[in-house]
Amino acid sequence: MTAESTLVAGVDSSTQSCKVVIVDPDTGEILRQGSAPHPAGTEVDPEAWWSALQQAICDAGGFADVAAVSISGQQHGLITLDRHGQVIRDALLWNDLRSDAAARALIAEIGADEFVDRAGIVPVASFTGAKLRWLRDHEPDNASRVAAVALPHDWLTWRLLGYGPTSSAAPRGPDLEALVTDASDASGTAYFSAVTGSYDLELFHAAFGSAAREAAGPTAHTKPATGTASPEPTAILLPRVLEPHESAGHTPEGILVGPGAGDNAAAALGLGAGPGDVVISIGTSGTVFSPTRLEINDPSGMVAGFASADGGRLPLVATLNAARVLDSAAVLLRASHTDVAALALASAPGANGLTLVPYFEGERTPNLPDATARLEGMTLANSTPENVARAFVEGMLCGLADGLDAVLRQGLTVKRLLLIGGAARNPAVREVARDIFTVPIDVPEQAEYVAIGAARQAAWTLTGTSPRWQVELVATLHPRPSQVRQQYRSFAHSGNTPDSSVTDRTNPAHENSDNDHRGSSGAHAPVEG
């Protein structure tokens, strides 16, 4: 870092790729950005992520003028380290579902209500605690070598700070006590409490059968003698949990490093979302989440009571069937995504009675893991390409609306929705959303909001003040009355989920915050975050 270093950087290490943005901390303007791909698969050598980070930094023009950086990452991935700082086995990613039986076993042993009370979530295969149980039961030799457990963003932060395995050229060596994390990512492990802000070590022991403790902080800033390692631990180390803008330290080059965050929490930061805002992200899977100060408690497991990256809570629902529903429509109709959108827009709300129940890969919200998709209400008159296309778009959005209902049942109120993700660019998705949701929908410009959120956290860590950056909107969509959701409910719910609607809680939120801003009704209007 030079005397002229004034910029901040944000990193999004996602499932598919690593993205880096370099930002003016005063205005939020993205000056440079870079990216590099990640390997496919549900288990990956973390060294591939480290290589991709280096490539993405180079692609973004380097960090010579960067004063601070934060890393956000995909949640739940399990990275196990031995006492030499060496990765024991490939990381198990969030989408590796071999730990499903382990999750069910943990619920049977602890109880769903007990898990929610203590950790804010009910274990599923995605969560780190379930993966630890799987490792214990299926790879005991690997389990016996574990000295520390980290999440993807924790490990990348550790490497960026100059730490690494004994066998590497890391200047600060394998100091496991230097591992750090933040509450938003730790809250996806199933052994951390978003309520208390600390680990529940008894839940960790239940998952892995070993004692654990929180790392104490770096023991040295110089590389130890060749061949040395962290002392034999008396308990497995878990990364030290930092406050929302607490420094993790400095890189060997002198760049300040922020605490980092889980990807959805970083996206909320990047959007400047506050109480009253609900983010709906339509990617490979769909997520619905909202920053709040309310306590979250959902024994059904539909709503995960995660922590946010700003010290609050981030209740989140994940649906398995999102943008891939549109992919399926394109395959079925032998049409491009553009053509599918045009066909859908040529139909009418309700697709003339045709309804898609979009559970192509089962579903998490509602919890129907063995369900399949189906088209209902078909007649000779309505079985047209236009109605099929419309039904697919409506079914996908109604599934997300079910997720929104689950979040709102936790007591949240909603003033506006923020629609992001690749499918938010689809004109049919935007238009049909007006028939599904009953509050205004702001569509921000397409941007790397996870990486931007990490950059915003880096600026906060650097200056001590969370910056207020503008988020440009490309559209504000106003709802219009329709019967689409009622038609969808008649086929999809069949008593599986409570019948609740957004209209139940569309009054102004009782949670007020300086970060609570409404979007303008004009296209391209800025909203401060």
Distance, CA of 63 to CA of 256 (rounded, Å): 11
**CB of 400 closer than 8 Å to CB of 319:** yes
Could you tell me the CA-to-CA distances from 396 to 191, 325, 370, 390 in Å, in that order?
A: 32, 6, 18, 10
Enumerate the β-bridge partners of residue 383.
Answer: none
Is residue 253 over pLDDT 70? yes
At residue 204, what are phi and psi to the nearest 5 degrees?
Answer: -60, -45
Q: What count of other Cβ atoms lies within 10 Å of the Cβ of residue 330?
A: 17
Write down the residue that tokens 């924790």 correspond to. Answer: 154
Per-residue pLDDT, 517: 25
Q: Regarding predicted confidence, which is higher, 170 or 226? A: 170
Closest to 67 in 3D by CA, of 256, 280, 321, 287: 256
Pick from 30, 8, 22: nearest CA to 60:
22
Residue 363, pLDDT score: 83
**Mean pLDDT, residues 346-373:** 90
- Each residue of 4-37: pLDDT tens digit? 779 999 999 999 999 999 999 999 999 999 999 9
Give the Cα separation of 187 and 485 in Å (integer): 33
Please compute the mean of the pLDDT values over residues 222-229 and round it to a whole number. Answer: 49
Q: Six-digit token pair at 36?
A: 């590099």
pLDDT bracket for residue 529 (50, 70, 90): very low
**Parallel, antiparallel, or unpaired: how do β-strands 17-23 and 79-81 relate?**
unpaired
Cβ neighbours for 82, distance < 8 A, ≥ 6 positions apart: 88, 145, 146, 147
Backbone angles phi, psi at 408, to 5 degrees: -70, -25
Can the peptide bond before residue 366 be classed as cis, meaning omega within 30 degrees of 0? yes
Tokens found for residue 6: 């004034």
For the chain, report the end-to-end CA distance as a whole number of angstroms. 29
Give the burial class of 336: count Cβ atoms within 10 A of its Cβ; 0-12 exposed, 13-18 middle, 19 or more buried: exposed
Least confident range of 255-259, 304-308, 512-516:
512-516
Position 520 pLDDT exceeds 60: no
> Contact at 8 Å (CB) between 317 and 403?
yes
Structure tokens at 160: 């960026």
Residue positions forming the annotated binding site for substrate = 75-76
Domain with CATH 3.30.420.40 in the chain: 7-218+234-259, 289-448+476-493
Q: Among 28-32, 229-233, 486-490, which is the least confidently predicted range? A: 229-233
Q: Provide the residue type at 511 as one letter.
A: E
Tell which wins on pLDDT, 371 or 48.
48
Active site residue 263: yes
Q: Cα–Cα distance between 111 and 516 in angstroms, integer? A: 37
Average pLDDT on 117-134 reads 94
pLDDT above 60 for 499: no
CB 162 within 8 A of CB 252: yes
pLDDT band for 50, please (50, 70, 90 cuts). Answer: very high
DSSP string of 91-121?
A: EEPTT-GGGHHHHHHHHHHH-HHHHHHHHSS
pLDDT in tens, 444-453: 999 999 999 9
Per-residue confidence band for 108, with pLDDT thresholds at 50, 70 and 90: very high
Could you tell me if 265 and 153 are in contact, meaning their C-beta atoms sit under 8 angstroms apart?
no
**H-type alpha helices, 151-297:** 152-160, 183-186, 201-208, 263-271
Give binding residues as ranges. 75-76
One-letter identity of residue 157: T
Residue 233 predicted with pLDDT over 70: no
pLDDT of 232? 54
Query: Could you give the 3-state DSSP secondary structure of residue 182?
Result: strand
Q: What is the pLDDT of residue 495?
A: 43
Q: What are phi and psi of 487, to 5 degrees?
A: -65, -40
Confidence of residue 525 (pLDDT cuts 50, 70, 90): very low
Between CA 45 and CA 88 the distance in angstroms is 10
- pLDDT computed for residue 220 by the predictor: 55
The tens digit of pLDDT for each residue in 276-304 reads 999 999 988 899 999 999 999 888 888 99
CATH homologous superfamily of 7-218+234-259 equals ATPase, nucleotide binding domain (3.30.420.40)
Q: Give the pLDDT confidence score for residue 509 in this predicted structure.
A: 32
Q: Which of 182, 200, 263, 298 is catalytic?
A: 263
* CB proximity list for 124: less than 8 A, separation 6 or greater: 100, 103, 130, 301, 364
pLDDT of residue 230: 54
Architecture label for domain 289-448+476-493: 2-Layer Sandwich (3.30)
Q: CA-to-CA distance for 491 and 494, rounded, in angstroms?
A: 7
60-76 tens-digit pLDDT: 999 999 999 999 999 99
How far apart, in whole angstroms, are the C-alpha atoms of residue 222 and residue 433? 55
Instruction: With cut-offs at 50, 70 and 90, classify the pLDDT of residue 513.
Output: very low
Neighbours of 69 (CB within 10 A): 29
CA 219 to chain centre: 32
DSSP secondary structure letters along 266-326: HHHHHHT--TTEEEEEESSSEEEE--BSS----TTSSSEEEE-TTSSEEEEEEES-SHHHH
380-439: per-residue pLDDT in tens? 999 999 999 999 999 999 999 999 999 999 999 999 999 999 899 999 999 999 999 999
Cα(163)–Cα(465) distance, integer angstroms: 28
pLDDT over 50 (residue 510):
no
Distance CA 527, CA 529 (A): 6
Mean pLDDT of the chain: 90
Q: Please state the rounded mean pLDDT for residues 343-362.
A: 96
The predicted model gives 309-333 an average pLDDT of: 94
Which one is predicted more confidently, 505 or 306? 306
Share of the chain above pLDDT 70, in %: 90
